[in-house]
Amino acid sequence: MMQSVNITIIGMLVVFVFLIIMVGIMKVLGKLVEAMEKYFPQTVPGAEDNALIAVAVAAARRFQGK
């Protein structure tokens, strides 16, 4: 019985440590992406074209049957 408790605790600790490391890596990558945004800005094609947005909204409503 004690061995199963030990294995359970070790398994939970391994998962917890993995999640902590994963969150840390994701935060570091987020900061890296923010830094790279200065040199490689992302542009959305057609973001300022209101007619294109209206067509997309109309198509979505038509598709949903509203």
* pLDDT, tens only, 29-65: 999 999 998 888 877 665 667 888 888 889 999 888 7
What is the model's pLDDT at position 1? 92
The DSSP string of the chain is -HHHHHHHHHHHHHHHHHHHHHHHHHHHHHHHHHHHHHHS----TTTT-HHHHHHHHHHHHHHHT-
Q: Residue 40: its pLDDT value, please?
A: 87
Look at residue 3 and tell me whether its pLDDT is greater than 80: yes
User: Could you tell me the residue range of the domain that residue 16 belongs to?
Assistant: 2-64
pLDDT at 21: 98
Domains identified in the chain, total number: 1
